Amino acid sequence: MMNQKSPPKNKELQNIEKILKVLPHRYPFLLVDRILEMEKGKSLIAIKNVTYNEPFFLGHFPGLKVMPGVLVVEALAQAGGILLYHSIPDPQDKFVFLSKIDNTKFRRPVVPGDQLRLEVELLKLKNRFCHMKGKAYVEEEVAVEGDMMASLLNLEELNEQE
């Protein structure tokens, strides 16, 4: 038998067009470029390529370009949102809000040319709340890590509040 490379899990999620169908974020706030691997209800690995022309570099330490840590956390949250979308029933009827960030540590700066590998693990999903753990790596080094909570709201309820 030939030694074949196994196909990536959930190949349909790999490109940006598929990500745009899941996340409501758009440029310049979309911070996930590609999904590498996903195990529904468990974990996800995504990529964010950090380029020199990112709009936040214009004003965030112009002499020493550093990606704001809160945006690295946001990238982890967006990766978590994609994982949640594929882990809950009727995701098109839900809106996910980041509701809590805890135990977050910023371990190294993220600079132009870095590629962030966003790893998110779903720890608990109960009713309208979700607990996730995320780590953002540059190569093999942890740049940011922390716990996140998300609230799932029904779109119907949101529309009634308007």
Helix (H) or strand (E) run with residue 130 in it: strand 129-138
The active-site residue out of 25, 60, 86, 131 is: 60
Query: Quick check: is 60 catalytic?
Result: yes
- In angstroms, rounded to a whole number, what is the distance separating the alpha carbons of residues 150 and 103? 15
| Distance separating alpha carbons of residues 107 and 57, to the nearest angstrom | 19
Name the DSSP class of 29: S
List strands edge to edge, sheet with 115-126.
34-39, 43-49, 115-126, 129-138, 141-154, 94-106
What are the DSSP calls for 40-89, one per residue?
A: TTTEEEEEEE--TT-GGGGTSSTTS----HHHHHHHHHHHHHHHHHTTSS
Residues marked active site are found at 60
